[in-house]
Amino acid sequence: MIRLERRPAPSRFWTAATPVLAVLLTMLAGGLMFALLGKDPVAAIRIIFWDPLFNPQFASYSRPQLLVKAGPLILIAVGLSFGFRANIWNIGAEGQYIIGALCGAGVALAFYPLEAWFIFPLMVLAGALGGWAWAMIPAILKTRFNTNEILVSLLLVYVAERLLAALAMGRMRNPEGGGFPGSRNIANYPSASNTELIANTGMHWGVVTAFIAVIFGYILLHRHILGYHVQLAGQAPRAARFAGVNPDRLVMFCLGLAGLLAGLAGMFEVAGPAGRINIDFGSGYGFTAIIVAFLGRLHPIGILLAGLLLGLTYIGGELAQMMLGLPSAAIQAFQGMLLFFLLALDMLSNYRIRLKPREVA
């Protein structure tokens, strides 16, 4: 018989090895899925993980895109990681990302076509406040009425998507767009565009903010009393109360920080790579960032590396769709496998597998 035996303390080896094993198992299972779809599994894995970086045919385009795709994932995941460490489960970062984009784009469209230096800073402030305010809804409901933040934050994603569709076809629709849904191209509005800071690198203000968030997150988590309270609340909630940690304030802080960073990610995306508000603006970054946070072991440096890896799967997945004709759903399933294997193997950090002889009656 197989049984699980709890370890006296989490295994450092398995904590470090789990993400690597999860990636390897995802490659194997993904290769099997691609084979069942009638595609060459070796070619598919090579196109996803190797060609975007090292194939001269694609590298000149793909390498700058790596930072473009990884930036919002890292920014959102850093915010989520604080809540997850404290057992505060914000699953609605996608909605906060969308609201941040709507608020930032709203500022740009309100001032169009004025050229002024203060427009972009106002967009940054509006995006951050929009994401923060959307995250405050589940935070207030949890602290005042003890609602489940998982359900509330997730349901608010669908509310944000409906609001996005309504504005894309209504108040924000381009009056010169021939009646098609979608706003003006904000990336072509000089005072509001989030352009590359260094040509052909993919480095824009959103990527810079993501790197700053990693540094800020590391300092806050490991060099500040607030980070100690976050970790204590997650590991020993009763001890945290005796230590003077206010659980309501912690909920407000963790959800607010996650919403603020997700809103910033949405604002930088709509002002740069996406360029406009459209019905399909929500790209799933808020959900994929959950994978990034756990793959990075809820550590800012790990999140940076995991964000680059998931960004690579986005770029490689697009290449695989173009070169091999893989459906987009297969790439999404491939990313989902990564979280599945990570959570399954994470059990080994806290439990040992023991073989127990079957007892004879």
The residue among 354 and 24 whose pLDDT is bigger is 24
**Least-confidence region, from 18-27, 77-86, 349-358:** 349-358
Answer yes or no: is 330 within a domain.
no
Answer yes or no: is 320 within a domain.
no
The residue among 351 and 96 whose pLDDT is bigger is 96
Per-residue model confidence as pLDDT tens digits over 301-320 = 999 999 999 999 999 998 99
> Do 296 and 307 touch, CB atoms closer than 8 A?
yes
> Do 1 and 356 touch, CB atoms closer than 8 A?
yes
> Do 131 and 260 touch, CB atoms closer than 8 A?
yes
Question: Residue range 194-220: average pLDDT?
Answer: 93
The single-letter code of the amino acid at 290 is I
> Is the sign of the CA dihedral 12, 14, 19, 24 positive or negative?
positive
Answer yes or no: is 308 within a domain.
no
User: For the chain, what percent of residues have pLDDT higher than 70?
Assistant: 99
**Least-confidence region, from 72-76, 88-92, 216-220, 274-278:** 274-278
Q: What is the pTM of this model?
A: 0.92
Among 43-52, 69-78, 233-242, 279-288, top mean pLDDT goes to: 69-78
What residues have CB less than 8 Å from 294, skipping those under 6 apart?
Answer: 84, 339, 342, 343, 346
Token pair belonging to 262: 């997700």
Answer yes or no: is 95 within a domain.
yes
Question: Residue range 188-194: average pLDDT?
Answer: 90
Answer yes or no: is 211 within a domain.
yes
Using DSSP, state whether 122 is helix, strand or coil.
Answer: helix
Q: Rounded to 5 degrees, what are φ and ψ at 199?
A: -60, 140
pLDDT at residue 359, as a whole number: 64
Looking at the DSSP bridge assignments, the partners of residue 2 are: 355
Q: Which residues of 150-179 are buried (b: 16+ CB within 10 A; e: fewer)?
A: eebbbebbeebbebbbebbeeebbbeeeee
* Domain range for 284: 71-196+206-297
Q: How many CB atoms lie within 10 A of CB 301?
A: 13
Q: Find, among 99, 253, 279, 120, the residue nearest to 186 by Cα.
A: 120
The single-letter code of the amino acid at 72 is P
pLDDT at residue 360, as a whole number: 64
CA distances from 52 to 59, 280, 295, 316 (A): 5, 25, 21, 6
| Res. 291 pLDDT band, cuts 50 70 90 | very high
Answer yes or no: is 139 within a domain.
yes
| Res. 361 pLDDT band, cuts 50 70 90 | low
Answer yes or no: is 188 within a domain.
yes
Answer yes or no: is 201 within a domain.
no
- Residue 152, pLDDT > 90, answer yes
Q: How many domains does the structure of the chain reveal? A: 1
CA pair distance 228, 245, nearest whole angstrom: 10
